[in-house]
């Protein structure tokens, strides 16, 4: 389906990543947002608060992030597409409800504009240390999708994608910006509405009495419903059967949790968005995401000038971790994979897991607060190529 | 010493075998229940079921179309109410029923949204949401079953536990004075506040009816026996003894100032009950729509176009007299 013309600010803009993410959400059909201010994410909700009244949307500033992260789920079950936005400390407070969304299969989008952590950390400076939190932030086993834009343009594009994937897989989706992308001003082109692909909420057409809110359908995903349709359905965060009724048995747990995890695992190839550069002849590949990929972009060029056979794999989708892309990269003559990130070694653990000794994996940790020096990455590439 | 009591978190039992000739007689409340989920998990003598009975009858009296009511619960013995009602129902997380309900209501203003949960859920972990929803005057009806304890987890101290009462986490007596929940809800800005007990079934049903018809944030406190965990430990006796205590000690004080409605459930003395607050104040969405219209004029597009159907609103609030 194409985006609703109302809400799509078609044209060329000069805006930051936070505003662009907000515009992407609106273009995707999001009409409900709840949030609590926190640097460097606040501009997302400020933009929504000013734009929503013109497009039939509603923003509410809640009393905290716990409330925000569950208010959006109430809105989803009333039929809305909904978003909440925060940064590290607030995302930590939302953790229980990320799990609730996964367990109840509530399609919704959580934006984390990452800053330096842990705790209050560096409120106004970048970090990428929440990538494992994005994957495992709530207790229990579940799958989740997380996307990492590296420009305001992509913050717009991937916000649309985040909503589309949330609907397609009935899952919470994390959109992981960082302070740099969130506050960076760049050209953002918003296409005409009919060029923006939007996945609408697929509400069941079954009659009351026939519909089961957790009967797996296509891709293991059950059909959605909303309050007021006459189905008198039940939703619970307890382990439940296909009717949504609580069942406290190991068998019910196995059936449900395995599906929740497999649903996302099996989607891995379909949701893996990435960009490759100079991968054909590469002996060294730099794997990166978000703001770091822009430093890598330059570092790879410099290393090439120094004669290094180096390529770049930029992940836009970091969860589910695109194992097949790492496998593909290894299919060539790659000897080393360099993984710079603004944390002291998080996504590199996934790379190592997939590589299983087939190549040397070189992490370049950085505790955040700024980005890597280009030279540090160049040096690591040249060293890895020896 | 008290004997430890098993928590009820795992108490979901197998469905009762159907015994021919033992079907319950047709009851006006049956149509509100997910009979395929019975038996329920509540103990004999527990007051939660009684409150559900009153709630169902109140909904019946309001003539709200059942497809348009949603019930939202948190976690606890009371939190299980949502799952037994044959309505759109949401069993959310501990303490967060109110913010979930806020999203549900704002995103579909045509729904009648009821929050049904326990004292611990709504006033300890969820206390912040309670006061802010009251302040905002979100159009919700909150039914708070106050059994003076955390039932589901085995009888720990709650913000409603009387001073010196014994709970598993206050084995030598509770040191903290309890909240007067009606005063709290009133101070936060609720437009309708009432307190009854599970002994006062008719009055409770009437107050829930009024609360459901009220536009804005309404709060009904239901004092309720938890014989298993609170009553037994504090020598109040079984469910029946607690109902008798409610009967003997409650004094109806309709319209009383809520700061005069505090009570000590363990010490002798009056327990004020009644309809305490009934006032009008613009509900959140009313104010939102008015303000945006005033600020933005025709550029304003209310949530959920086409605009909320005034007739639908009207019949949602049709009272027992029509
Ligand atoms: C975040 C979180 N903390 C703690 C719990 C454990 N817990 C479940 S119910 C409950 C208390 C319930 O008390 P109340 O709301 O008074 O309900 P009652 O069982 O008395 O009806 C607690 C502490 C939980 N489920 N989630
Ligand atoms: S533990 Fe208490 S509140 Fe829970 S069902 Fe039993 S009597 Fe009721
Ligand atoms: Mg309680």
Domain of A134: which CATH number?
Answer: 3.40.50.970
Tell how strand A185-190 and strand A122-126 pair up: unpaired
Q: For residue A283, list its beta bridge partners.
A: none
Residue nearest atom 4 of ligand 1, based on CA coordinates: B94
Which residues on chain B are in Cβ contact (under 8 Å) with A71? 99-100, 102-103, 106
Give residue-wise pLDDT tens across range B53-68: 999 999 999 999 999 9
The mean pLDDT value for B251-273 works out to 97
Which residues on chain B are in Cβ contact (under 8 Å) with A139? none
- Mutation to test the A interface, candidates B100, B112, B285, most A Cβ within 10 Å: B100
Q: Tell me what pLDDT residue B313 has.
A: 45
> Which pLDDT band, with edges at 50, 70 and 90, does A300 fall under?
very high
Q: Which of A158, A175, A195 is the C-terminal boundary of a domain?
A: A195
Q: Tell me what pLDDT residue A194 has.
A: 96
Higher pLDDT among residues B204 and B21, named by residue: B204
Q: For residue A85, list its beta bridge partners.
A: A35, A111
Q: For residue A238, is it within any domain?
A: no
Q: Tell me what pLDDT residue A5 has.
A: 86
The mean pLDDT value for A286-290 works out to 98
CB atoms near residue A298 (< 10 Å) = 12
Report whether A71 contacts A83 (CB < 8 A). Answer: no
The mean pLDDT value for B244-273 works out to 97
A210, two tokens: 């026939």
A87-117 burial, b at 16+ Cβ within 10 Å, e below that, comes to bbbbbbbbbbbbbbbbbbbbbbbbbbbbbbb
The mean pLDDT value for A182-195 works out to 98
> Which pLDDT band, with edges at 50, 70 and 90, does B305 fall under?
low
Q: Tell me what pLDDT residue B24 has.
A: 60
Give residue-wise pLDDT tens across range A337-370: 999 999 999 999 999 999 999 999 999 999 999 9
Q: Is A170 left (phi over 0), alpha (psi -120 to 50) or beta?
A: left
- Tell whether A75 and A183 lie within a shared domain: yes
Q: Tell me what pLDDT residue B3 has.
A: 41
Q: Tell me what pLDDT residue B318 has.
A: 43
Which residues on chain A are in Cβ contact (under 8 Å) with B106? 32, 58, 60, 71, 75, 78
- Tell whether A178 and A296 lie within a shared domain: no
Based on the structure, what is the number of domains in chain A?
A: 2
- Tell whether A165 and A19 lie within a shared domain: yes
Q: Tell me what pLDDT residue A179 has.
A: 98
Q: What does the DSSP 8-state code read for residue B76?
A: S
Give residue-wise pLDDT tens across range A245-265: 999 999 999 999 999 999 999
Q: Which of B88, B288, B300 sits opposite A233 (nearest CB)?
A: B88
Half-sphere exposure of A88 (CA within 13 A, CB side): 23
| This prediction's pTM | 0.94
A165-200 burial, b at 16+ Cβ within 10 Å, e below that, comes to bbbbbbbbbbbbbbbbbbbbebebebeebeebebbe
Q: Which of A151, A175, A195 is the C-terminal boundary of a domain?
A: A195
- Tell whether A188 and A290 lie within a shared domain: no
Q: Which of A154, A180, A195 is the C-terminal boundary of a domain?
A: A195
**Helix and strand counts by DSSP (H, E) for chain A:** 13, 16
Report whether A59 contacts A33 (CB < 8 A). Answer: yes
Ligand nearest to the CA of B48: 2
CATH number for the domain running over B9-281: 3.40.50.970
The mean pLDDT value for A305-317 works out to 98
Q: For residue A214, is it within any domain?
A: no
Could you check whether the bond before residue A37 is cis, i.e. omega within 30 degrees of 0? no
* Mean of per-residue pLDDT scores for chain B: 91
Q: Tell me what pLDDT residue B309 has.
A: 45
Q: In terms of residues, how long is chain A?
A: 386
CATH number at residue A364: 3.40.50.920
* DSSP track, B137-158: T-S-EEEEEE-SSBTTTTSB--
Q: What does the DSSP 8-state code read for residue A237?
A: S
- Mutation to test the B interface, candidates A59, A69, A70, most B Cβ within 10 Å: A70
> Rounded to whole angstroms, how far apart are CA atoms A87 and A45?
12
Q: Tell me what pLDDT residue B19 has.
A: 64
Q: How far is the CA of B202 from the centre of ligand 2 (A)?
A: 22
> Which pLDDT band, with edges at 50, 70 and 90, does B28 fall under?
confident
The mean pLDDT value for A225-233 works out to 98
- Rounding to the nearest 10 degrees, give the CA dihedral for residues B212, B213, B217, B223: -40
> Which pLDDT band, with edges at 50, 70 and 90, does B303 fall under?
confident
Instruction: Report how far Cα B321 is from the mean position of its chain's Cα atoms.
Output: 24
Report the alpha-carbon angle A290-A66-A225, nearest 5: 85
B218, two tokens: 């309404």
Share of chain A above pLDDT 70, in %: 100
Report whether B100 contacts A73 (CB < 8 A). Answer: yes
**Structural domain of A171:** 5-195
> Rounded to whole angstroms, how far apart are CA atoms B155 and B174?
12
Q: Tell me what pLDDT residue A332 has.
A: 78
Q: Tell me what pLDDT residue B106 has.
A: 97
- Tell whether A186 and A46 lie within a shared domain: yes
Tell how strand A11-16 and strand A185-190 pair up: antiparallel
């Amino acid at each position: 389906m194409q985006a609703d013309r109302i809400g799509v600010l078609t044209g060329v803009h000069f805006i930051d990543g936070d505003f662009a993410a907000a515009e992407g959400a609106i273009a995707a059909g999001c009409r409900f947002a709840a949030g609590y201010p926190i640097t460097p994410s606040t501009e997302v909700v400020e933009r929504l608060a000013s734009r929503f009244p013109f497009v039939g949307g509603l923003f509410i500033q809640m009393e905290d992030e716990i409330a925000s992260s569950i208010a959006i789920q109430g809105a989803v079950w009333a039929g809305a597409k909904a978003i909440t936005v925060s940064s590290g400390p607030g995302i930590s407070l939302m953790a229980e409800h990320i799990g609730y969304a996964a367990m109840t299969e509530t399609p919704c989008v959580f934006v984390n504009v990452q800053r330096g952590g842990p705790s209050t950390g560096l409120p106004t400076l970048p970090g990428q240390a929440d990538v494992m939190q994005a994957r495992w932030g709530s207790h229990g086993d579940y799958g989740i999708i997380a996307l990492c834009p590296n420009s305001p343009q992509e913050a717009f594009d991937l916000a649309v994608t985040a909503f589309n994937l949330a609907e397609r897989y009935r899952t919470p989706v994390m959109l992981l910006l960082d302070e740099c992308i969130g506050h960076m001003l760049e050209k953002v082109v918003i296409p005409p509405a009919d060029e923006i692909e939007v996945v609408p909420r697929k509400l069941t057409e079954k009659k009351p009495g026939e519909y089961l809110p957790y009967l797996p359908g296509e891709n293991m995903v059950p059909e959605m419903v909303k309050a007021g349709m006459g189905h008198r359905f039940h939703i619970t965060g307890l382990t439940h059967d296909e009717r949504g009724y609580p069942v406290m048995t190991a068998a019910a747990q196995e059936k449900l949790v395995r599906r929740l995890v497999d649903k996302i695992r099996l989607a891995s190839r379909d949701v893996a968005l990435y960009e490759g550069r100079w991968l054909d002849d590469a002996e060294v590949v730099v794997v990166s995401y978000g703001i770091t990929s822009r430093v890598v972009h330059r570092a790879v060029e410099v290393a090439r000038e120094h004669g290094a056979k180096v390529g770049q794999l930029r992940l836009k989708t970091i969860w589910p971790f695109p194992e097949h892309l790492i496998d593909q990269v290894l299919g060539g003559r790659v000897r080393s994979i360099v993984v710079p990130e603004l944390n002291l070694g998080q996504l590199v653990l996934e790379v190592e897991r997939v590589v299983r000794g087939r190549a040397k994996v070189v992490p370049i940790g950085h505790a955040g607060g700024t980005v890597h020096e280009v030279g540090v990455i160049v040096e690591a590439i040249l060293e890895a190529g020896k | 010493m008290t004997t430890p009591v098993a928590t009820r978190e795992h108490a979901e039992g197998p469905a009762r075998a159907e015994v021919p000739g033992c079907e319950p007689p047709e009851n006006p409340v049956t149509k509100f229940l997910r009979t395929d989920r019975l038996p329920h998990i509540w103990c004999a003598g527990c007051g939660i079921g009684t409150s559900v009975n009153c709630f169902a009858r109140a909904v019946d009296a309001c003539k709200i179309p059942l497809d348009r009511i949603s019930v939202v619960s948190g976690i606890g013995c009371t939190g299980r109410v949502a799952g037994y009602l044959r309505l759109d129902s949401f069993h959310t997380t501990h303490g967060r029923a109110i913010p979930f309900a806020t999203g549900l209501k704002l995103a579909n203003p045509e729904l009648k949204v009821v929050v049904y949960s326990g004292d611990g859920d709504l006033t300890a972990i969820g206390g912040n949401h309670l006061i802010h929803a009251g302040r905002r005057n979100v159009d919700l009806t909150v039914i708070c079953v106050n059994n003076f304890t955390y039932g589901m987890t085995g009888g720990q101290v709650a913000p409603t536990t009387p001073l010196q009462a014994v709970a598993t986490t206050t084995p030598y007596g509770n040191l903290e004075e309890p909240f007067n929940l009606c005063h709290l809800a009133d101070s936060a800005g609720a437009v309708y506040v009432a307190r009854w007990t599970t002994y006062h079934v008719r009055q409770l049903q009437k107050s829930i009816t009024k609360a459901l018809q009220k536009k804005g944030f309404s709060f009904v406190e239901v004092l309720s026996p938890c014989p298993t965990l609170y009553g037994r430990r504090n020598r109040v006796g079984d469910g029946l003894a607690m109902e008798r205590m409610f009967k003997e000690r409650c004094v109806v004080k309709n319209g009383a100032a809520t700061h005069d409605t505090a009570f000590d459930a363990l010490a002798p003395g009056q327990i004020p009950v009644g309809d305490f607050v009934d006032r009008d104040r613009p509900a959140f969405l009313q104010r939102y729509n008015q303000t945006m219209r005033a600020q933005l004029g025709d550029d304003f597009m209310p949530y959920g176009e086409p605009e909320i159907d005034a007739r639908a609103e009207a019949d949602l609030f049709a009272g027992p007299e029509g």
